[in-house]
Structure 1
Amino acid sequence: MAKVERKRALRGRAGRMKGGRGSGRTNPGHVRLWGRHPVEAALKNPDRQHRKLWATREGIASLDGDLPEGFPVEFADPSDLGRLVAKDAPHQGLVLECEALENTFLDEFATGEANKPIIVLDQVTDPHNVGAILRSAAAFGAACIVTQDRNAPPESGVVAKSASGALETMPWVRVVNLARALDDLAEAGYWRIGMAGEAEATLDESMTTGPMAIVLGAEGEGLRHNIAGHCDTLARLPITSAIESLNVSNAAAIAMYAAATRSMD
């Protein structure tokens, strides 16, 4: 596919969703992050527009490096910071309000690199799971994660805390139509593996040496029938009968490890 045609095919991004109170999403377009790793990563991210940092003096001292001169900081007690974030959130003396990250598009990351799988999430709505998957994706060198706009959590403090800084480094692409995005990945040369506990083949048996997309469904629900139908094959992890299934973030991490260690011969 010519590059200009591929860009036309792979683009597809809807507006961002609003989060609930205390989730770390404030006004539309604003995100509130907390905890040392998420805040430090956001401060180091040149693509992040910052608005204000609330902090204890101990929190400021824990940061790696100095804040830019003139950076808007308001010192506060830990109890005051607790009122700015989700209930019982471990803010570690740091709460940062900033702008949401700019939109990204699938054609920017579907470049056909065999050692950089694309992780597609079908209706994985728990922000803790999405954050953990972002963290694993960064650890195992994935190209990006892809979600559908209306069936995924918004960018938020909960996602950022679970991602432990990976929200700032791992591209997160939101698309309007997930099935169409999978079709576009096929056109771009990706082998699409849907993870399903009922599949006959294991993941190891289903992988190829070329570019690959790993598709995971929501915990309990699994892949929707339509999304499974847009995969080239279905695969399972070879777990024992001692447990019915794994948490989706654990399954994603294992699948990414398998992709990272497969033979490229």
Structure 2
Amino acid sequence: MVIYGVHPVEEALRGRRKVHRIWATERGSWEGNVTVVSAEEIAERAETDAHQGVAALVDPYPYVDEAELLAVEAPFLVALDEVTDPQNLGAIARTAEGVGATGLIIPERRSAEVTPAVCKASAGAVEHLKIARVRNLADFLAEAKEKGCWVYGAAAGSKTSYDQPDYGGGVVAVLGAEGKGLRPRVASMCDDLVSLPLLGQVESLNVSATAAVLLYRILQFRLDAST
């Protein structure tokens, strides 16, 4: 896989997968097997002009097994239900890593996966965040509940405000695709559905914006509970 952008390459060098080669428009502070080339050559290798003067050949993305995420005591997990936009996946991954989430879960089908574009949108956060792909998200949520987790789905118009639940212990925050929201079976596996207040004219927020608000609320609750 060829990733591109300053932050994605920097974080890949610090992360879990091997960086085999780096192409850059100038040597700078880059470490390892670095070749100085033109911006045009980097654009050709990265298949985009948004490379910021650097690209790298790295191992395929190292997804983890879902059982690893549930084996942690009181995990803080984020699950995405058919979020197909790479920019949204990257932005949510960046927030999830920022709040110290245990991991991120995405379906194997009808979902964005970790591509170079997602690496760029996450500013390299995917190199540190554990991400699992599951065959059936609803089944995963059922397993998480068996392991003692509480599952909260974000759904516009829900009666429960996002700041009301007790987010202590094991928690899974579930967010659905824009326009469709959570699929019925996924929603049915949630212990509660929560919503953000909307006082303007628009009916919903971008899923990555919703994720940022909800995940930081969960983090704040857990920080307050630990003091």
> Is the CA contact 1:117–1:212 (under 8 Å) kept in the aligned structure 2?
yes
Tell me how far 1:112 sits from its aligned partner.
5.3
TM-score (norm 2): 0.92
Give, in whole Å, the separation in 2 of the partners of 1:207 and 1:222.
23
Query: Aligned to 2:140, what secondary structure does the other structure show?
Result: helix
Give, in whole Å, the separation in 1 of the partners of 2:13 and 2:103.
21
Report what 1:122 is aligned to. Answer: 81
> Is the CA contact 1:112–1:189 (under 8 Å) kept in the aligned structure 2?
no
Aligned match for 2:7, one of 33, 37, 42:
37
Query: Aligned to 2:40, what secondary structure does the other structure show?
Result: helix
Tell me how far 1:101 sits from its aligned partner.
2.6
Tell me how far 1:150 sits from its aligned partner.
1.2
Structural mapping, 1:52-63, within 5 Å: 52-57=21-26, 60-63=27-30
My pick for the range that moved more, 102-111 or 158-167, is 102-111
Report what 1:103 is aligned to. Answer: 63
Give, in whole Å, the separation in 2 of the partners of 1:241 and 1:53.
46
Query: Aligned to 2:105, what secondary structure does the other structure show?
Result: strand
> Is the CA contact 1:54–1:74 (under 8 Å) kept in the aligned structure 2?
yes
Aligned match for 2:138, one of 179, 193, 215:
179
Tell me how far 1:162 sits from its aligned partner.
0.7
Describe the superposition over 1:48-105 as per-residue Cα deviations: whole angstroms up to 9, x where unpaired. Answer: 1233222111xx3154xxx24xx2x33211122112224332x121111111133311
Q: Aligned partner of 2:105: which letter?
A: V
Unaligned runs of 5+ residues in structure 1 are 1-30
Q: Aligned partner of 2:183: which letter?
A: R
Report what 2:100 is aligned to. Answer: 141
Task: Could you list the structure 1 runs, at least 4 aligned residues long, displaced by more than 3 angstroms after superposition.
Answer: 111-114
Query: Aligned to 1:61, what secondary structure does the other structure show?
Result: coil
Aligned match for 1:158, one of 117, 123, 135:
117
Give, in whole Å, the separation in 2 of the partners of 1:117 and 1:50.
29
Report what 2:46 is aligned to. Answer: 85
My pick for the range that moved more, 204-213 or 75-84, is 204-213
Describe the superposition over 1:97-150 as per-residue Cα deviations: whole angstroms up to 9, x where unpaired. Answer: 111133311221224544x52000000011111111111011111111100011
Query: Aligned to 1:239, what secondary structure does the other structure show?
Result: coil
TM-score (norm 1): 0.80
Give, in whole Å, the separation in 1 of the partners of 2:18 and 2:110.
26
The percentage of counterpart residues that share the same residue type is 35
Tell me how far 1:209 sits from its aligned partner.
2.3
Structural mapping, 1:198-209, within 5 Å: 198-209=157-168
Unaligned runs of 5+ residues in structure 2 are none
Tell me how far 1:154 sits from its aligned partner.
2.5
